[in-house]
C-alpha cells in the first residue's frame, strides 16, 4: 500500500472510483510534469452532498464539508489517472468556485475544507497556492467546484 493511501486509510477516507465525465471533456490532462484536473463537485455515489448557495441554503460548515468531499473526488481522479498517489510531488494550485448568495464573502473559509485536507494527506507537499472565487451559479446547484494543478513524477 502506498504511503498516501495508508494516510487516507488513517484518516478514514476511502476513495470512490474516478468519476466518468458526463460531457465532452477529460477528467485529467497532463503537460510535462503537471496534471490539471477538470472541475469536480461534492458528489457521493452520484448525489450532491449539499445543494445550493453558501449564505442561503448552505452554511459555512456545510460548505467546508462539501469542499472536503470535492477534494476526495479530486484525489480519486488523480489516483485513476496516476495509479499511485505517491507520484504526486506536490499540490501546486487549487481553484475553488463557491456558489454564493448575494452578499456572501466568506469563500476562503469554505475552501479551507479542501486545503486543510490536502495538507492532512500530503503534509508539506499539500500546501498550495489557491483562489477562492464567489460565483452566482454552479452546475447542478453544487455549492463548490474545485480544479487542481499538481506536480507529478514518473
DSSP structure string for 6-59: HHHHHTT--PPPPPPPSSSS-SEEEETTEEEEPPB--EETTEESS-S-BTTTB-
How many residues are present in the chain? 154
Give the end-to-end CA distance of the chain in Å, rounded to a whole number.
Answer: 18
Cell numbers describing residue 130:
489557491
Per-residue pLDDT in tens (0 to 9) along the chain, 154 residues: 799 999 999 999 999 998 888 889 999 999 999 999 999 999 999 999 999 999 999 999 999 999 999 999 999 999 999 999 999 999 999 999 999 999 999 999 999 999 999 999 999 999 999 999 999 999 999 999 999 999 999 9
Are residues 115 and 94 in contact, defined by beta-carbon separation less than 8 angstroms? yes
Cell numbers describing residue 142:
453544487
Collapsing DSSP to helix, strand or coil, 136 comes out as: coil
Which helix (H) or strand (E) segment holds residue 141: the answer is none
Amino acid at each position: 500500500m502506498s504511503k498516501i493511501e495508508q494516510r487516507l486509510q488513517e484518516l478514514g477516507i476511502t476513495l470512490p472510483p474516478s468519476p466518468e465525465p458526463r460531457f465532452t471533456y477529460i477528467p485529467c490532462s497532463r503537460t510535462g510534469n503537471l496534471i490539471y484536473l477538470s472541475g469536480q463537485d461534492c458528489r457521493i455515489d452520484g448525489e450532491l452532498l449539499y445543494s445550493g448557495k453558501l449564505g442561503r441554503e448552505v452554511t459555512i460548515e456545510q460548505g467546508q464539508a462539501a469542499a472536503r468531499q470535492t477534494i476526495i473526488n479530486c484525489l480519486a481522479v488523480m489516483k485513476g489517472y496516476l495509479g499511485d498517489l505517491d507520484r504526486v510531488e506536490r499540490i501546486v494550485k487549487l481553484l475553488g468556485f463557491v456558489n454564493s448568495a448575494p452578499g456572501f464573502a466568506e469563500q476562503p473559509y469554505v475552501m479551507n475544507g479542501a486545503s486543510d485536507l490536502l495538507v492532512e494527506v500530503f503534509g508539506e507537499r499539500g500546501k498550495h497556492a489557491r483562489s477562492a472565487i464567489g460565483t452566482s451559479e454552479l452546475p447542478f446547484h453544487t455549492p463548490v467546484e474545485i480544479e487542481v494543478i499538481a506536480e507529478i513524477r514518473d
